[in-house]
A and B are shown apart, each in its own frame.
Chain A
Amino acid sequence: MLSERELERYDRQIMIFGREGQEKLKGAKVAVVGVGGLGSPVAYYLAAAGIGTLLLIDEQEPELSNLNRQILHWEEDLEKNPKPLSAKWKLERFNSDIRIEAFVGHLDESNVDEVLGGVDIIVDCLDNFETRFLLDDYSQRKRVPIVHGAVEGTFGQVTTVVPGITKSLREIFPNVRGKKEKFPILGATAGVVGSIQAMEVVKLLTGIGEPLLNKLLIVDLAFNTFDVVELR
């Protein structure tokens, strides 16, 4: 049940998907994997929307060069507070009606089942495909959807993987090379792409609109292009 305070807090979005939709958000547990450029806006907007439980996963501490885009981390957190804890501190003060869980560490085959157990949706805010494919394998095995996002420069892509309905990440991106060099990125790019990922989560949970199922959205903000490619 939603409290009076929650009904007031979420009033403007209850106008979109009703109390029933808001209850679904409250009842959900969503994992944000990678609490960086994408993870910051994703976690921020999902906390704002009233997702009942957010699980934040990352192993790093913020560095000065992260702050052009990773807006949940502040100067006082630099090289001190691991990203999930830095973000948890702020989000708990932003919305005390939701629960924030943090996992500080590296996801691998030995711990992925335990860490992601009970999660309804995984939001992929990672910076490498190696860990993405770990999430993908978990997603296929446990039938948990993934909202995939990635950015570089002024460009980004989003798609939503629902096992049994859509292609998997491995099928969509069969040939990605294992590079993890320093890439250019602007905060606003991550803000746009992360906001679209947050929207995907809300659409999946409430049933409004059409998630990017078997569709890859590719955005280039330098040239104002939004294209949707059919993946079927």
Chain B
Amino acid sequence: MKVTVRYFARYRSLVGKGEEELEIPNGITVGELIEVLKERHPALRDEVFAEDDDLADVNVSRNGRYVSFDEVLRDGDIVALFPPVSGG
């Protein structure tokens, strides 16, 4: 199935584009997609996402709604990844 992944803030800089369409296995979860993205873009793994998924410092939305890592994806979904920023 195909999903569109959108990258925000420093993820966008690291990946080098704002969004991309990816072919992924049917029925995988958000957490599994993140693993795919780490393989595809090592910069994300090295510089942004924690090794321990439970501590991953990334927020994810699916079709405009905030979701957890165990959410199952469907064909045509738009998944957005954005880092919580903390500066003031």
A47 within 8 A of B: no
**Total residues of chain B contacting the partner, CB 8 A:** 23
Kindly list chain A residues whose C-beta atoms are within 8 Å of the C-beta of B66.
172, 216, 229-232
Q: Judging by beta carbons under 8 Å apart, are A127 and B80 in contact? A: no
Q: How far is the CB of A194 from chain B (nearest CB, A)?
A: 9
Q: Are B88 and A125 in contact (CB under 8 A)?
A: yes
B34-88: which have CB < 8 Å to A? 50, 54-59, 61, 64-66, 80, 82, 84-88
Give, as a whole number of angstroms, the nearest-CB distance from B68 to chain A.
9
Q: Does B22 contact A (CB under 8 A)?
A: no
Footprint of B on A, CB under 8 Å?
34, 36-39, 124-129, 132, 149-153, 155-157, 172-173, 175-177, 179-180, 183, 185, 190, 216, 218, 220, 223, 225, 227-232
Cα separation A218 to B61 with both chains bound (whole Å)? 12
| A127 partner residues in chain B, CB cutoff 8 A | 86-88
CA–CA, A191 to B66, complex, Å? 26
From the candidates A129, A190, A227, A231, name the one contacting B86 in the complex (CB within 8 A).
A129
A155 vs B86: C-alpha distance when bound (angstroms)? 11
Q: Chain A residues near B12 (CB, 8 Å)?
A: 220, 223
Nearest CB on A from B87, distance (A) = 5
Complex interface: chain A residues within 8 A of B86 (CB): 127-129, 132, 150, 152, 176, 179-180, 183
